[in-house]
Amino acid sequence: MEPGRLEELYDWLRIPSISTGGGEASDLLAAAEFAAAIIRRAGGEAELVTIGAGNPLVIGELHAISEGAPTVIIYGHYDVQGPGPLDLWQSPPFEPEVRADRLYARGAADDKGNFYPLLIAACELFESGELAVNVRVVIEGEEEAGGESVAAWVKAEGRGADCAIVFDSAMEDAQTPAITIGLRGCISTSISVKAQPRDLHSGLYGGSVQNALHVLQQILTPLLPGDDGNLRAELRAGAEPPSAAELESWQQLRPGQEMLDEVGATSLTSDSGADFRRRNGAEPSFEVNWIEGGAARTVVPAQARAFVTLRLAPGQDAAAMQATLERLLRERVPDGVQLEIESHAATPSLFAADLPAIQIAREAIERASGMKTALIRSGGSIPVVADFAAAGIPVIVSGFGLADDEIHAPNESFVLDHLDLGERCARELLQALAALPQT
């Protein structure tokens, strides 16, 4: 990537556009304006669209050289997760720094640095009068926060494109680019338990009153996986088993055990490694992410809070699972104890490997990278992908992150060479999509 472009990305990364709490609205706006300016400078049209109290969407247009060309949405998100503990960062999160072959900054991989090559490829093809497809740019600022703006925009537009390209995922490994055909959904739930008006002396009242931490433990325990690693049947409802062909294709990928060993993880069950792809891509999973309450003193805690997530497998109905989860939580609450639940659902997605858009993308990425390209499922979630799918828009989910980019964690980074790799693949992909059948 030429030095001017690199500097531009660094400037974008310098804006702390945090959407998950603690961020400034002015910084989110600045990051949106920054992206819009890139599109306008290339001669394209761009505007910021704000829906309700949401963070601004960047909506842009770059027209194809010839009329009647297919329309392709390119999607990324300018918002980032909070940096977490600053002392764990080797260089400050919003001061991009190159060390060895990597660029370090919050957002370097998720998603500014991953998406930037796609944006630049479209802008440069347009500027040089080569762009073979109509490009609609959609960049959101609420992806990490479960915001509704982009979903509302997609819904209002209807089938406003022949396909979408999302650069917000990772390669299978450094030698294997990937198209992520499956993503899990996610139900994020905040739970609050109130058992008493105030904490009580555990000697004077213990054994006679409800303990908020015990209630929390009691309602969460039935949601944990069983000895076989599976969730209870009600939480697996609708999960579609992978086809024999897909199971077979996973055999060609890196062994799951290797992926667990790489992060030094403790396995849930003895077959967690061997069964990793299926569990991660075709099964739901439940996590208690955070729990709080009580004190290290002799009290009966009055209140307790938790944040939990249920990842949904492709095939599962997000609204139905949201209702099931809420019912399971409420059903064990003792009389008189107050339970408050606030949850938000993102739908899973899965695309057929033989869709024309997926086939074209695979061949284009193979030509541009010179590497065999895998079709994979990811256990992560990108909520807008299901919104595009619901509007009848097939989605090519890709990107050039790696498993060790430390997204959402301290010292997030992106391999510098992958900016060029991403741009090469994006150029080839955009131009190849001119052959997409229009329906």
Contacts with Mn ion: how many residues (CB under 5 A)?
3
170 binds ligand BES (CB under 6 A): yes
178 binds ligand BES (CB under 6 A): no
Q: Which CB sits closer to ligand BES, 182 or 394? A: 182
* E strand or H helix that includes residue 122: helix 112-127
User: Which among 147-155, 163-171, 296-304, 422-430 is the span making contact with ligand BES, rule CB under 6 A?
Assistant: 163-171
Q: Six-digit token pair at 143?
A: 């992806």
Closest CA to 422 of 36, 130, 106, 103: 103
Question: How many other β-carbons are positioned within 10 Å of the β-carbon of residue 434?
Answer: 17
143 binds ligand BES (CB under 6 A): yes
Question: Which of ligand BES, Mn ion, none does residue 378 bind to, with CB < 5 to 8 Å depending on kind?
Answer: ligand BES
Q: Which CB sits closer to ligand BES, 42 or 361? A: 361
Q: Which residue has the tokens 């819009």?
A: 36
Q: Which CB sits closer to ligand BES, 114 or 211? A: 114
168 binds Mn ion (CB under 5 A): yes
The only residue of 8, 27, 140, 168 in contact with ligand BES, by rule CB under 6 A? 168
Q: Give the nearest distance from C-beta 142 to Mn ion in angstroms.
A: 11
Does residue 376 come out as left (phi exceeding 0), alpha (psi in the -120 to 50 range) or beta?
beta
Bridge partner list, 299: 201
Q: Give the nearest distance from C-beta 104 to ligand BES in angstroms.
A: 18
Question: Which of Mn ion, ligand BES, none does residue 430 bind to, with CB < 5 to 8 Å depending on kind?
Answer: none
294 binds ligand BES (CB under 6 A): no
146 binds ligand BES (CB under 6 A): yes
162 binds Mn ion (CB under 5 A): no
Helical axes 417-432 vs 356-369, angle rounded to 10°: 140
As a whole number of angstroms, the distance between CA 135 and CA 103 comes to 28
For 278, half-sphere exposure in the C-beta direction (CA atoms, 13 angstrom radius) is 18
92 binds ligand BES (CB under 6 A): no
Q: Six-digit token pair at 348?
A: 């899973």
Residue 207 vs residues 211, 219, 358: alpha-carbon distances, Å: 9, 19, 61
Rounded CA Rg of the chain: 23
246 binds Mn ion (CB under 5 A): no
For 35, half-sphere exposure in the C-beta direction (CA atoms, 13 angstrom radius) is 37
Q: Which CB sits closer to ligand BES, 169 or 210? A: 169
User: Which among 67-75, 160-168, 351-359, 388-396 is the span making contact with Mn ion, rule CB under 5 A?
Assistant: 160-168
Closest CA to 321 of 237, 387, 380: 237
CB under 8 Å, gap of 24 or more: what pairs does 230-237 form? 230/283, 231/283, 231/284, 231/285, 231/286, 234/324, 234/328, 235/284, 235/286, 235/310, 235/321, 235/324, 235/325, 235/328, 236/283, 236/284, 236/313, 237/316, 237/317, 237/320, 237/321, 237/324
Q: Give the nearest distance from C-beta 344 to ligand BES in angstroms.
A: 8
Start-to-end C-alpha separation, the chain: 36
Percent helix, percent strand, percent coil in the chain, to nearest 5: 35, 25, 40
140 binds Mn ion (CB under 5 A): no
**Closest residue to ligand BES in the complex (CB):** 380
* Ranges within 382-421 binding ligand BES (CB under 6 A): 382-383
Give the DSSP per-residue string, 255-291: PHHHHHHHTTPPPSSTTTTTTHHHHHHHS-EEEEEEE
Q: Which CB sits closer to Mn ion, 110 or 387? A: 110
Q: Give the nearest distance from C-beta 343 to ligand BES in angstroms.
A: 11
* Ranges within 7-66 binding ligand BES (CB under 6 A): none
381 binds ligand BES (CB under 6 A): yes
189 binds ligand BES (CB under 6 A): no
Check if the beta carbon of residue 365 is closer than 8 Å to that of residue 179: yes
110 binds Mn ion (CB under 5 A): yes
Contacts with ligand BES: how many residues (CB under 6 A)?
16
84 binds ligand BES (CB under 6 A): no
Q: Give the nearest distance from C-beta 87 to Mn ion in angstroms.
A: 22
281 binds ligand BES (CB under 6 A): no
User: Which among 104-112, 258-266, 291-299, 317-325 is the span making contact with Mn ion, rule CB under 5 A?
Assistant: 104-112
Helical axes 3-14 vs 25-41, angle rounded to 10°: 160
Binding mask 361-380 for ligand BES (x = CB under 6 A): -----------------x-x
Residues lying near Mn ion in the complex (CB under 5 A) are found at 110-111, 168
Residues lying near ligand BES in the complex (CB under 6 A) are found at 110-111, 143-144, 146, 168-170, 180, 186, 346, 378, 380-383
